[in-house]
Amino acid sequence: MILGCIADDLTGATDLALMLSREGLRTLQSTGVPHHSIDLGLIDAVVIALKSRTIPVDDAITLSFAACDWLKAHGAKHFLFKYCSTFDSTDQGNIGPVADALLDHLKSDFTLACPAFPATGRSIYMGQLFVNGAPLAESPMRDHPLTPMRDSDLRRVLQKQSKYKIGHVAFADVNQGADAIASAFEREKKAGHRMVIVDAITNDHLREIGRAAASLPLITGGSGIAIGLPKAYLDRGLIKALHPPSARLVAPHGRRIILAGSCSVATRGQIAQAIEKNLPHFRVDPFAIADGCCTIETIMKWVTSLPVDALPLIYSSDDPDHVAKVQEQLGREKSGALVEHLMADLARALVSAGFTRMIIAGGETSGAVVEALGVGLLEIGPEIDPGVPWTKSRSGPEVVLALKSGNFGAPDFFTKAWDRLS
């Protein structure tokens, strides 16, 4: 293994694993830190998916160390800490504190922070993160249920979270290519900056940043930051060849389902389109879960009454006003946990009832579902939309899963995704 990756949520891990696999590294994804040693065979990269984005900082650091140590013990030479391309975090953490701690843990004196992912509309210019052309703080991320982002300046956001001085490598350097970026890293180090926000607008920028950063022990960013690494490792002789991924994924026989717990704009659009196309749908209301009216039994009764070839959609997703009302009455964490637990228990019941092909929308939601199913290792399959591949379980029940970060995917994601399975 050349590269060991620690991702702070599951869909982010899948997004990164897809990027590495597409660019030629043989990549495996693990849900959580494996409890035992694994014979990795010909694997170049492992992505360990944690559920550490919104947990207490100390727990996030402990989990990240465990992942880092497992990867190191299995041969990783370089490490990547992956977080969301919209920098999902609060002033209390967890991106800054985990990056600080990993720098110390790996005895490294410098790293970069670059969540840019142009394929999904995330770019960084003069330290400001843009989401589909809008500054982060004016994008729908300002109303995220768990990590509302109200400042677009990543230098300021990260500085509030980190104990180290944050620097910046701006577009003017990035645009000149890898050598200029490497010189800028040296300049920033001399200025006493242990972490730098790096501007990036295009994939070419990310490839040049990857070339400049390939020798760093630790890199941090979104999945985009990985785009240049495989080729950079090849050029440096750290790997012998690139291995393009297989184009199709063979799915086990069984029924299909879509579970959506994301309240993001893209997911709500996908739900609207699915309903317009007459997909049978069931809306889960957090108040109804809280007062015991909406149970697994009710939902299973509905879903199993449908024809076996139906494509049912079960969703809790709602608009920001309604989510705010729910959170006001039930509490932010409690309402999130209520929905996540229901989706997790539901997924278990569905697998027992013969459902083997699932789309799960939402990072936290996907994490809860995969944990409940006991799916450990995932093989990465074909890409459905940027950042979202089909995956197949290599441990636990035999299922194929599309784990979609809430804001990812085109409006027709829920209906077109199935064409990539055979």
Residues at the interface with ligand ADP (CB under 6 A): 145-146, 261-264, 286, 316-318, 323, 326-327, 335-336, 339-340, 362-365, 405-406
Measured from the CB atom, the residue of 19 and 196 that comes closer to ligand ADP is: 19
Measured from the CB atom, the residue of 219 and 263 that comes closer to ligand ADP is: 263
CB of 335 to ligand ADP, least distance (A): 4
Cα 172–chain centre separation: 29
Cβ neighbour number for residue 262 with a 10 Å cutoff: 29
CB of 420 to ligand ADP, least distance (A): 21
Q: Report how far residue 96's alpha carbon sits from residue 29's, in angstroms, rounded to the nearest whole number.
A: 24
CB of 107 to ligand ADP, least distance (A): 33
Measured from the CB atom, the residue of 239 and 358 that comes closer to ligand ADP is: 358
Helix (H, G, I), strand (E, B) or coil at 212: helix
Q: Report how far residue 116's alpha carbon sits from residue 130's, in angstroms, rounded to the nearest whole number.
A: 9
CB of 170 to ligand ADP, least distance (A): 29
CB of 85 to ligand ADP, least distance (A): 11
Q: Report how far residue 137's alpha carbon sits from residue 342's, in angstroms, rounded to the nearest whole number.
A: 31
DSSP letter string, 72-98: HHTT--EEEEE--TT---BTTBSHHHH
Measured from the CB atom, the residue of 137 and 238 that comes closer to ligand ADP is: 137
Helix (H, G, I), strand (E, B) or coil at 270: helix
Measured from the CB atom, the residue of 76 and 141 that comes closer to ligand ADP is: 141
Cβ neighbour number for residue 107 with a 10 Å cutoff: 8
Show the DSSP H helices in 309-393 as ranges.
320-330, 332-352, 363-373
CB of 256 to ligand ADP, least distance (A): 20
CB of 334 to ligand ADP, least distance (A): 10
DSSP letter string, 101-163: HHHHHTT-S-EEEE--BGGGTEEEETTEEEETTEEGGGSGGGG-SS------BHHHHHHHH-S
CB of 143 to ligand ADP, least distance (A): 11
**β-bridge partners, 392:** 379, 400
Measured from the CB atom, the residue of 74 and 334 that comes closer to ligand ADP is: 334
Measured from the CB atom, the residue of 90 and 395 that comes closer to ligand ADP is: 90
Measured from the CB atom, the residue of 146 and 310 that comes closer to ligand ADP is: 146
Measured from the CB atom, the residue of 173 and 340 that comes closer to ligand ADP is: 340
Q: Can you list the positions of beta strands (E) in 247-309? A: 255-260, 281-283
Measured from the CB atom, the residue of 23 and 340 that comes closer to ligand ADP is: 340
CB distance 288 to 294 below 8 Å: yes
CB distance 220 to 190 below 8 Å: no
- N- to C-terminal Cα distance for the chain? 30
Residue 397 DSSP code = S
Measured from the CB atom, the residue of 100 and 340 that comes closer to ligand ADP is: 340
CB of 31 to ligand ADP, least distance (A): 15
Residue 191 DSSP code = T
Structure tokens at 301: 């009764």
Residue 304 exposed, middle or buried by CB count within 10 Å (0-12, 13-18, 19+) = middle
Which residue number is nearest to ligand ADP in terms of Cβ? Answer: 406
CB of 349 to ligand ADP, least distance (A): 18
CB of 337 to ligand ADP, least distance (A): 7
